[in-house]
């Protein structure tokens, strides 16, 4: 009975459902591992999160088919990259994933900004959108790493030039949130510019979108 109630609540609050899926995926990554099977599993988890995000886009004012197309390109190309090791497929896959996550994030913002009243679901959407941006930039970092294997370095850990998915996700989260905490450093001009863009995007999201939601929430309580 409790499970059924929880499922009904998630259905009524789709943004909360997306955020729950994102948090479950985030908690699963450390236990998946960095070996070949673990890489496939982490990609599957990311694809599952993206699928839920695409479902959410259909509830926003943006066309859902665009998100679905970008997601399909990313998932298929990245799966082929993992199977064959093809460089071009890896770039297409990571860019496809990133574009789908970015499109989903923009669609969620359009959903949150579509009226003059902040609902409970829109508050959940603010957290889910934050994670969509984090996941998007992690895939951008993955594309940078494919172009330049030494794009990111972790001098306190090891000398291995290629960073894992969890490390890139951590790098994305720390920079998008503007905390800047972490031991992973951008080492090339391309990676440093991408980091700056991510930091700017994070600051603007918090300053404009979240601040507006908070302002509408206060206004609605008067």
SS3 state at 86: coil
Does 90 score more than 90 pLDDT? yes
- Residue 103 and residue 85: Cα distance in Å, rounded? 27
CB 165 within 8 A of CB 93: no
Q: What is the pLDDT of residue 3?
A: 42
User: What does the pLDDT read at residue 217?
Assistant: 65
More confidently predicted of 7 and 57 = 57
Q: Is the pLDDT of residue 222 over 60?
A: no
Residue 212 or residue 97, greater confidence: 97
Q: Quickly state the pLDDT bin for 9 (edges 50, 70, 90).
A: low
Number of domains in the chain: 1
Backbone angles phi and psi of 58, in degrees to 5: -65, -20
Structural contact between residues 94 and 78, judged by C-beta atoms closer than 8 angstroms? yes
Average pLDDT value for residue range 146-164 = 80
Residue 219 reports pLDDT greater than 70: no
pTM for this prediction: 0.86
> How many alpha carbons lie under 13 Å from residue 212 in its C-beta half-sphere?
14
Per the CB < 8 A criterion, the answer to whether 132 and 104 are in contact is yes
Contact 25, 43 (CB under 8 A): no
Burial of 35 from C-beta contacts in 10 A (0-12 / 13-18 / 19+): exposed
Q: How far is CA 204 from the centre of its chain?
A: 17
Question: Do residues 15 and 56 lie in contact, with contact meaning Cβ atoms separated by under 8 Å?
Answer: yes
Length of the chain: 222
Longest dimension (CA), the chain: 60
Structural domain containing residue 182: 2-220
What end-to-end distance do the CA atoms of the chain give, in Å?
A: 37
User: Residues near 124 by Cβ (< 8 Å), separated by ≥ 6?
Assistant: 13, 15, 16, 18, 19
Say how far apart CA 45 and CA 81 lie, in whole Å: 17
User: Could you give the count of Cα atoms lying within 13 Å of 146 in the half-sphere of its Cβ?
Assistant: 21
């Amino acid at each position: 009975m409790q499970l059924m109630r929880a499922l009904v609540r998630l259905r009524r609050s789709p943004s909360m459902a997306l955020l729950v899926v994102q948090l479950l995926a985030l908690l699963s990554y450390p236990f998946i591992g960095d070996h070949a099977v673990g890489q496939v599993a982490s990609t599957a988890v990311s694809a599952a999160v993206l699928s839920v995000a695409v479902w959410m886009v259909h509830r926003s004012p943006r066309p859902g088919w665009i998100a679905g197309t970008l997601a399909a390109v990313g998932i298929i190309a990245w799966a082929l990259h993992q199977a064959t090791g093809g460089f071009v497929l890896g770039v297409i896959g990571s860019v496809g994933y990133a574009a789908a996550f970015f499109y989903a994030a923009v669609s969620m913002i359009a959903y949150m900004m579509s009226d003059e009243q902040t609902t409970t679901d829109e508050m959940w959407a603010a957290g889910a959108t934050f994670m969509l941006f984090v996941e998007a930039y992690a895939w951008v970092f993955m594309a940078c790493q494919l172009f330049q294997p030494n794009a990111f370095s972790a001098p306190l850990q090891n000398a291995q030039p290629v960073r894992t998915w969890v490390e890139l996700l951590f790098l994305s989260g720390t920079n998008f949130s503007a905390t800047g905490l972490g031991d992973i450093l951008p080492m090339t001009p391309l990676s440093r510019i991408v980091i700056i863009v991510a930091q700017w995007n994070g600051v603007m999201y918090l300053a404009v979108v979240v601040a507006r939601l908070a302002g509408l929430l206060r206004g609605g309580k008067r």
